Amino acid sequence: MGSFLSKNEFPVDGRTVLITGGSKGLGLNAARQLAEKGAHVIIVARDAGHLQQGIAFVSKGARSPDVQRFHHISADVTSAAECARVVAEAVEWNHGSPPDIVWCCSGSAHPSLFVDTPLPQFQTMMDSNYFSSVYMAHAVLSVWLKNTSSLSSSSSSPAKTAAIDDGTEEKQHDSAASDAEAKPPARHIIFTGSFVSFYSFTGFAPYAPSKAAVRSLADSLSQEMNLYATALPHEPRVRVHAVFPATMPTQSLDDENAVKTDVTKALEEGDQILDPAECARRAIAGLERGLELVPTSAIIRLVMTSVLGGTIRGGFWRGCVDTVLGWLTMVVMVFIRWEMDVKVARWGRENGVSGMKKDR
Ligand SMILES: NC(=O)c1ccc[n+]([C@@H]2O[C@H](COP(=O)([O-])OP(=O)(O)OC[C@H]3O[C@@H](n4cnc5c(N)ncnc54)[C@H](OP(=O)(O)O)[C@@H]3O)[C@@H](O)[C@H]2O)c1
C-alpha cells in the first residue's frame, strides 16, 4: 500500500487477477504477493507441471484461504486464439465476470549481435514480448469495453457471486446500494517492459525493439482509454500501466546469458540484480501509488526520466522531481553513450567481430 497519507490506487482484495507468465520468476512472485493481499488469482503459462507447482505456491499465500480462489490455465500467449480462449476460460471460472486486473508478464530475451542472429529470432522476440501483450490486451479489453451491458465489474468478485447464489445477497443489499452509487474501482492492464525499453545497447537489437514497442503500446492505450472513461461513465475506468523490471536471476536470465556475447556482458557490468520477489514488491508498490510507468530500480527510473515524453508523471511533486531528474539524465546519457561507444570500439580492435573474448 502507499503511504498512510495516500490512497491505494491498486486495490486487489476480493478482486480477480490474471497473470501471464505466472508460473515462474516475476509473474509467480507477483501472483503470490497479490494473493497475500486478498486477490483471487489465475496464472497462465505453457508448461502444465510448472503451473501446478506455481499455483500451489500462490495459494499458500492466500490471506483468506476459505474465500480466495485460484486457477491455472495452460496456453501459449503468442497466439491470438489462445489469448481469447484464456480470457473466455477466466470469465467462466469467475462466475461469468471478467478478471479485474490482467498482468502481461510472460516474455523472453535473445540478446545477440544483429548479423549473427538468425532472422526468425527477430519474429520470436516480437511474438514473445510484444504480440503476446497485444493479443492478451485485445482479448480482455474487448470483453471489458465491448460487452458492457452484459458484464459489469461490480459483480465481478466470485465472493459476491457466491453470495447471490446462496441467498445472502439480500442481507448485503444496503451496502450494495451504497456501492452502486460509488464509482466502481478501476480495472487495470499491466504490461512488462525492461530497461532496454528506454535505452538499448550493443547485443540487444533482437530484444530491445520488442520491449520498446511494449512501452509504446502502453502509452497509446493509456490515452485511448479516456474515450471509454467518458463514453461509458458507469463502467469501471481502465487504467494502463507498464512495469520495468530490473535484472533478476530467473530462467529467462539463464536463457539469455547462454546466448549473450562477452561484449554485451562487459557493457552490463555493475548492473543491479534484484530478487524476483523484491522486484514484484517494488512493481506492486508503484501500482499502488498509481504510477503509469513503474520503474523497479533507481537506474531504470533515472534513464526513464530522460525519455518520458507525454507520459503521465504520477502526481505534481513526482512529476517535478522526474522532470528535473530528466534534465540531469539527458546530460549524463551523453557521457554514458560516449563511454559505451569507446568500450565497444576497443573491444572490436582487441577481439574482432565475434563479440567474444579472443583468448576464450
Ligand atoms: N529476468 C530479467 O532479468 C528481466 C529483466 C527485465 C525484464 N524482464 C521481463 O520480465 C518478465 C518476466 O521475466 P522472468 O525473468 O520472471 O521470466 P521467467 O522466470 O523465465 O518466467 C517466464 C514466464 O513466462 C512464461 N512464458 C514464456 N513464454 C510464454 C508463452 N509464449 N506463453 C505463455 N507463457 C509463457 C513461462 O512459462 P512457460 O515457459 O511454461 O510458458 C514463465 O512462467 C518478462 O517479460 C521478461 O522479459 C526480465
- We report the CATH number of the domain holding residue 41 as 3.40.50.720
- The residue-averaged pLDDT of 105-129 equals 98
Task: Find out whether the beta carbon of 20 lies less than 6 Å from any atom of ligand 1.
Answer: yes
Task: Find out whether the beta carbon of 247 lies less than 6 Å from any atom of ligand 1.
Answer: yes
Active site residues: 207, 211
Closest ligand 1 atom to 195 CA: 6
Task: Find out whether the beta carbon of 176 lies less than 6 Å from any atom of ligand 1.
Answer: no
- The residue-averaged pLDDT of 5-17 equals 93
Task: Find out whether the beta carbon of 19 lies less than 6 Å from any atom of ligand 1.
Answer: no
- The residue-averaged pLDDT of 81-103 equals 98
The 10 Å Cβ neighbour count of residue 243 is 27
Task: Find out whether the beta carbon of 210 lies less than 6 Å from any atom of ligand 1.
Answer: no
How far, in Å, CA of 127 to CA of 307, rounded?
25
Q: Is the separation of the CB atoms in 211 and 194 below 8 Å?
A: yes
Residue 356, pLDDT > 50, answer yes
Which of 20, 35, 27 has the alpha carbon at shortest distance from 131? Answer: 20
Closest ligand 1 atom to 108 CA: 47
Tell how far the Cα of 98 is from the centroid of ligand 1, in angstroms: 24
Domain assignment of residue 5, yes or no? no
Sheet holding 40-45, edge to edge: 70-74, 40-45, 16-20, 101-104, 187-192, 238-244, 293-295
How far, in Å, CA of 191 to CA of 231, rounded?
24
Q: Whose CA is nearest to atom 23 of ligand 1?
A: 21
Q: Whose CA is nearest to atom 46 of ligand 1?
A: 107
- Residue 31 has φ and ψ, to the nearest 5°, of -60, -45
Domain assignment of residue 64, yes or no? yes
Tell how far the Cα of 99 is from the centroid of ligand 1, in angstroms: 21
How far, in Å, CA of 360 to CA of 355, rounded?
11
Residue 180, pLDDT > 60, answer no
Burial label, 177 (beta-carbon count in 10 A; 0-12, 13-18, 19+): exposed
- Structural domain span for residue 336: 16-351
Tell how far the Cα of 203 is from the centroid of ligand 1, in angstroms: 19
Q: Characterize 259-289 residue by residue with b for buried, 16 or more Cβ atoms within 10 angstroms of its Cβ, and e for exposed.
A: bbbbbbbbbbeeeeebebbebbbbbbbbbbb
Q: Which string of DSSP letters, residue by residue, matches 274-298?
A: --HHHHHHHHHHHHHTT-SEEESSH
Share of the chain above pLDDT 70, in %: 89
- Banded model confidence at residue 194, pLDDT cuts 50, 70, 90: very high
Domain assignment of residue 356, yes or no? no
pLDDT digit string, tens, across residues 27-73: 999 999 999 999 999 999 999 999 999 999 999 999 999 999 999 99
Tell how far the Cα of 116 is from the centroid of ligand 1, in angstroms: 24
Could you tell me the three cell numbers for 292?
503509469
Domain assignment of residue 358, yes or no? no
Region for 140 from its dihedrals, namely left if φ exceeds 0, alpha if ψ lies in -120 to 50, beta otherwise = alpha
Lowest mean pLDDT across 45-59, 114-128, 174-188, 294-308: 174-188
Task: Find out whether the beta carbon of 26 lies less than 6 Å from any atom of ligand 1.
Answer: yes
Q: Whose CA is nearest to atom 3 of ligand 1?
A: 247
Domain assignment of residue 33, yes or no? yes
Task: Find out whether the beta carbon of 276 lies less than 6 Å from any atom of ligand 1.
Answer: yes
Number of domain units in the chain: 1
Domain assignment of residue 266, yes or no? yes
Q: Is the separation of the CB atoms in 325 and 305 below 8 Å?
A: yes
Tell how far the Cα of 159 is from the centroid of ligand 1, in angstroms: 30
